[in-house]
C-alpha cells in the first residue's frame, strides 16, 4: 500500500463580483491522499508535489460567473483553484515524465495534485535548475515561465521593436512588465514605465534600467505625464492595465505605433457597465495604429527559442527578476487578491513547500 500524506486545498467558494476577497476562497484542511497513482486515474496522469504557485491576474477572469466570454474556462465553486506552478513529479503514467522530475505548468492550489490529460500537456520538464548556471526554481513561475514567454512574445513577436524606438510599459514592475522594460533596453529602445508606488518607480529606474518612470497615482493628467516622458510620442505600448491609461496612451502614440494588449488588469474587477470608457480610438486611424491582443498559450511553440535566448542573460546577470514570495499555501488567497490592489512588488508567487521536503 502506498504511503499517504495530508493534502490541503484552496477552493473557490463562490463566483466573484467586483474585487475578490479572502472569503471568496477557503483553505480546506487536509484529506489523506496516496503518494502513488492509484490506477483509477486516466492514462497519462501525473501525481505531483506542488512547490511554488503563481498568482496571475488572468485568474480573476476565471473567478467570475461564466457569462462573459473568456479565453479561459471559469473555476467551479467548491473545486480547487488551478494555475501555473512548479512541482516535483511523484508518480507518472505520462511517458514524458518520471518520478523525481521537476515540472512547471498548470497545477492545483493544494499540496499534491493529480494532473490529468489534457492538462498534462501544459507540464514541461525543468532542465535548467540547480548546479552551475542553474536558475532558481521559482523563476519557472516568472521569467522562465508563462510571464516570461508572455513578455517575449508580446514585445519581440508582436511589437517587432527597432533600436531607437520608444516603448511605454504599464504595470511595469509586475511579473511581465519588469521583463518588457529590460527586453526593450536590450533591444536599444528608450523605455519608460509606470507603476503605483514610489518604491516600485524606484525599482523601475534602479533595478530594471527603465530610462524614466512615473507613479500613475500621482499624475492628475495621464496624457500630460506621457507627453512629458515622450515628447516625440510612443512607438510601442505594452498594455497591461487598460482603461484610462489606454485612452491617454492613444493620444500619445506615434504614427505606425503598435500596442500589444497583454492584459487589462484595471478592468477585471468591474462590471460591464462600470468599465472605463475608451474614447480616443480615432487615433487608431489617424496614426495607423495596430492593437494586437495575445495570450501566451497560443505561442507555446516559441518557448524553446525564448528559453535559449533568455537563459544566458539570467546567468550573466544582465536580466534582473524581482519576486514577491508569500509563504505557505494558507497565504495564497491573500497574495492573489493583492495583485488587484498593487500590493505585490515584482512577480507574486507562493512557496508552499521546500524542494528538499519532497525528498528528491
* 307, three cell numbers: 528559453
Cβ-contact 90, 123 below 8 angstroms: no
- Candidates 30-38, 132-140, 277-285, 306-314 — which segment interacts with its own copies by CB under 8 A? 277-285
Answer for which of 93, 280, 331, 358 binds its own copies (CB under 8 A) is: 280
Q: What burial class does residue 118 get, using C-beta atoms within 10 Å of its C-beta: 0-12 exposed, 13-18 middle, 19+ buried?
A: exposed
Q: Rank residues 298 and 327 by Cβ distance to its own copies and give the closer one.
A: 298
Q: At what angle do helices 222-229 and 244-252 cross, to 10 degrees?
A: 40
Instruction: State the minimum distance, in angstroms, from the CB of residue 70 to its own copies.
Output: 5
Q: How far, in Å, are 182, 237, 335, 357 from residue 7 at the CA level?
A: 39, 43, 20, 14
Q: Rank residues 277 and 356 by Cβ distance to its own copies and give the closer one.
A: 277
Instruction: State the minimum distance, in angstroms, from the CB of residue 153 to its own copies.
Output: 11
Rule CB under 8 A: which of 287-346 touch its own copies? 287-295, 298
Q: Pick from 44, 26, 321: which is nearest to 180 by CA?
A: 321
**139-178 b/e (C-beta count within 10 Å ≥ 16 → b):** bbbbbbbbbbbbbbbbbbebbebeeebbbbbbbbbbbbbb
In a 13 Å sphere around the CA of 10, the CA atoms on its Cβ side amount to 25
Q: Rank residues 215 and 267 by Cβ distance to its own copies and give the closer one.
A: 267
Q: Pick from 133, 148, 144, 101: which is nearest to 120 by CA?
A: 101
Instruction: State the minimum distance, in angstroms, from the CB of residue 11 to its own copies.
Output: 25
Number of residues near its own copies (by CB under 8 A): 38
Rule CB under 8 A: which of 191-220 touch its own copies? none
Q: Rank residues 93 and 280 by Cβ distance to its own copies and give the closer one.
A: 280
Cβ-contact 240, 176 below 8 angstroms: yes
Calpha distance 274→264 (Å, rounded): 14
Q: Interface with its own copies includes 224 (CB under 8 A)?
A: no
Rule CB under 8 A: which of 53-82 touch its own copies? 61, 69-71
Instruction: State the minimum distance, in angstroms, from the CB of residue 237 to its own copies.
Output: 13
Bridge partners (DSSP) of residue 240 are: none
- Candidates 83-91, 141-149, 258-266, 314-322 — which segment interacts with its own copies by CB under 8 A? 258-266
Answer for which of 119, 261, 311, 325 binds its own copies (CB under 8 A) is: 261
- Candidates 78-86, 172-180, 269-277, 308-316 — which segment interacts with its own copies by CB under 8 A? 269-277
Cis peptide before 28 (omega within 30 of 0): no
Rule CB under 8 A: which of 77-136 touch its own copies? none
Residues near its own copies (CB under 8 A): 61, 69-71, 242, 246, 251, 255, 261-264, 267-268, 272-273, 275-295, 298
Amino acid at each position: 500500500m502506498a504511503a499517504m500524506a495530508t493534502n490541503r486545498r484552496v477552493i473557490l467558494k463562490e463566483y466573484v463580483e467586483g474585487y475578490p476577497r479572502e472569503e471568496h476562497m477557503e483553505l480546506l484542511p487536509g484529506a489523506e491522499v496516496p503518494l502513488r497513482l492509484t490506477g483509477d486515474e486516466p492514462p497519462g496522469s501525473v501525481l505531483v508535489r506542488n512547490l511554488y504557485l503563481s498568482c496571475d491576474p488572468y485568474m480573476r477572469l476565471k473567478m467570475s460567473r461564466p457569462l462573459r466570454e473568456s479565453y479561459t474556462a471559469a473555476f467551479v465553486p467548491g473545486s480547487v483553484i488551478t494555475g501555473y506552478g512548479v512541482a516535483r513529479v511523484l508518480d507518472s503514467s505520462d511517458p514524458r515524465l518520471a518520478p523525481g522530475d521537476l515540472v512547471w505548468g498548470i497545477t492545483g492550489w493544494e499540496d499534491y495534485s493529480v494532473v490529468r490529460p489534457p492538462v498534462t500537456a501544459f507540464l514541461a520538464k525543468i532542465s535548467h535548475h540547480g548546479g552551475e548556471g542553474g536558475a532558481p526554481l521559482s523563476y519557472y513561475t516568472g521569467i522562465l515561465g508563462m510571464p516570461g514567454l508572455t513578455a517575449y512574445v508580446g514585445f519581440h513577436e508582436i511589437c517587432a521593436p527597432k533600436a531607437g524606438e520608444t516603448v511605454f510599459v504599464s504595470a511595469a514592475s509586475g511579473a511581465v512588465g519588469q521583463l518588457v522594460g529590460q527586453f526593450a533596453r536590450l533591444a536599444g529602445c528608450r523605455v519608460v514605465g509606470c507603476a503605483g508606488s514610489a518604491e516600485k518607480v524606484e525599482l523601475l529606474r534602479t533595478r530594471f534600467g527603465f530610462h524614466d518612470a512615473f507613479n500613475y497615482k500621482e499624475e492628475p493628467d495621464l496624457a500630460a505625464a506621457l507627453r512629458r516622458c515622450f515628447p516625440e510620442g510612443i512607438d510601442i505600448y505594452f498594455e497591461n492595465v487598460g482603461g484610462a491609461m489606454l485612452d491617454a496612451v492613444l493620444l500619445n502614440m506615434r504614427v505606425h505605433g503598435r500596442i500589444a494588449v497583454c492584459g487589462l488588469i484595471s478592468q477585471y474587477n468591474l462590471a460591464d457597465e462600470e468599465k472605463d470608457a475608451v474614447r480616443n480610438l480615432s487615433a487608431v486611424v489617424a496614426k495607423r495604429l495596430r492593437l494586437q491582443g495575445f495570450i501566451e498559450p497560443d505561442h507555446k511553440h516559441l518557448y524553446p527559442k525564448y528559453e535559449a535566448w533568455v537563459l544566458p542573460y539570467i546567468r550573466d546577470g544582465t536580466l534582473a527578476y524581482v519576486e514577491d514570495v508569500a509563504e505557505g499555501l494558507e497565504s495564497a488567497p491573500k497574495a492573489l487578491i493583492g495583485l488587484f490592489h498593487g500590493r505585490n512588488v515584482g512577480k507574486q508567487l507562493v512557496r508552499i513547500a521546500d524542494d528538499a521536503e519532497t525528498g528528491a
